[in-house]
Chains A and B, each alone.
Chain A
């Protein structure tokens, strides 16, 4: 029998709508999160323009929070940049996974690369069908890009109007943001161990090295743990 073309097309129409709906939902959620980035970044001493350029050009939340966090606590800008770039390495790993699905070249590849973030990678790999995965990637990436940058501008402009961000407790907002970002990963026991040792190394080295460097030393914990011979086949 000939497959029922109409039913197949209807199913795709329904799935397409579901993918886009999810993408918009994730976009709105990250837009709210961008409000706090805008506020933290201006509290750290970045101008509204610099904060907005970070969201447009760096466009990867954890790295942006890290740069603002390190610079805001008096760390060298170079240490902040190094931390931000190290955090960005996971986007490279996402990219390697996404490349065969996206199959992009030229200008579309340059655009796709910028949209490779936690959310778009998750939405692209959550779908079974390749075309649904591609749609998930592009719609989530674009929805987050628009909402993330809008939220950043509002948050930055709002917070820069405040006299002293410390009276609002904004210096506690950055560590709270990092905690919320890392918490889902700590359910795995090996991750929790790496996190605990990394935090201990960072605190123990604080009195002896320049501000911002303890976090970079903590990165060595990850490298050490990754290179350690594995007992079980993970």
Chain B
């Protein structure tokens, strides 16, 4: 686990340092800009899907789906970040307790 913590931290810092050291020119390429915008969107969307609907290598539908639905409603209602998290966790815990 420490290896993951340290290599991940090193990688993220190296990217930040590379950014402030690189010439502005690299942003001239429209493809670089587009991939830069799309990459976090793709990764975060994939994380939402897999963390809600999979367990190991299986597709599953469980109490987490209720949590995600509540989170989506909270996001649409422009609730603050922490409210979204707490609402999702509480909904999941409730569904689990009732099941």
Q: Which of these, B20, B34, B81, B85, contacts A112 with CB under 8 Å?
A: B20
Check if B88 sits within 8 Å of A81, measured CB to CB: no
A53-B9, A198-B42 given; A180·B81 CB < 8 A: yes
- Looking at the assembled complex, report how far the CB atom of A194 sits from the nearest CB atom of chain B, in whole angstroms: 5
- 11 pairs from A and B in contact (CB 8 Å cutoff): A57-B13, A59-B12, A65-B47, A71-B4, A78-B4, A81-B8, A85-B11, A167-B96, A194-B42, A200-B49, A218-B43
Check if B46 sits within 8 Å of A54, measured CB to CB: no
Check if A116 sits within 8 Å of B4, measured CB to CB: no
B54 contacts which chain A residues (CB < 8 A)?
73, 203, 206, 211, 214
- Looking at the assembled complex, report how far the CB atom of A172 sits from the nearest CB atom of chain B, in whole angstroms: 3
B26: Cβ under 8 A from any A Cβ = yes
B residues lining the A interface (CB < 8 Å): 1-13, 15-24, 26-27, 30-59, 63-64, 66-68, 71-72, 75, 80-82, 84-85, 87-94, 96-97
Check if A67 sits within 8 Å of B63, measured CB to CB: no
Contacts of A79-96 to chain B: CB distance below 8 A: 80-81, 83-96
Tell me how many residues of A have a C-beta within 8 Å of chain B: 106
A185: Cβ under 8 A from any B Cβ = yes
The answer for the CA separation of A67 and B12 in the assembled complex, in Å, is: 12
A33-B81, A234-B30 given; A92·B92 CB < 8 A: no
The answer for the CA separation of A92 and B35 in the assembled complex, in Å, is: 12
B56 contacts which chain A residues (CB < 8 A)?
73-74, 211
A87 contacts which chain B residues (CB < 8 A)?
39-40, 43-44
B85 contacts which chain A residues (CB < 8 A)?
36, 173, 176-177, 180
Check if B93 sits within 8 Å of A113, measured CB to CB: no
Check if A182 sits within 8 Å of B63, measured CB to CB: no
Check if A92 sits within 8 Å of B47, measured CB to CB: no
- Looking at the assembled complex, report how far the CB atom of A61 sits from the nearest CB atom of chain B, in whole angstroms: 10
Check if A179 sits within 8 Å of B84, measured CB to CB: yes
Q: Which of these, B15, B41, B53, contacts A85 with CB under 8 Å?
A: B15
Q: Which of these, B18, B51, B58, B97, contacts A95 with CB under 8 Å?
A: B18
A214 contacts which chain B residues (CB < 8 A)?
46, 50, 54
Check if B81 sits within 8 Å of A195, measured CB to CB: no
Q: Encode A54-75 as 1/0 by CB contact (under 8 A) with B.
A: 1001111011011101110110
- Looking at the assembled complex, report how far the CB atom of A121 sits from the nearest CB atom of chain B, in whole angstroms: 10
A222: Cβ under 8 A from any B Cβ = yes
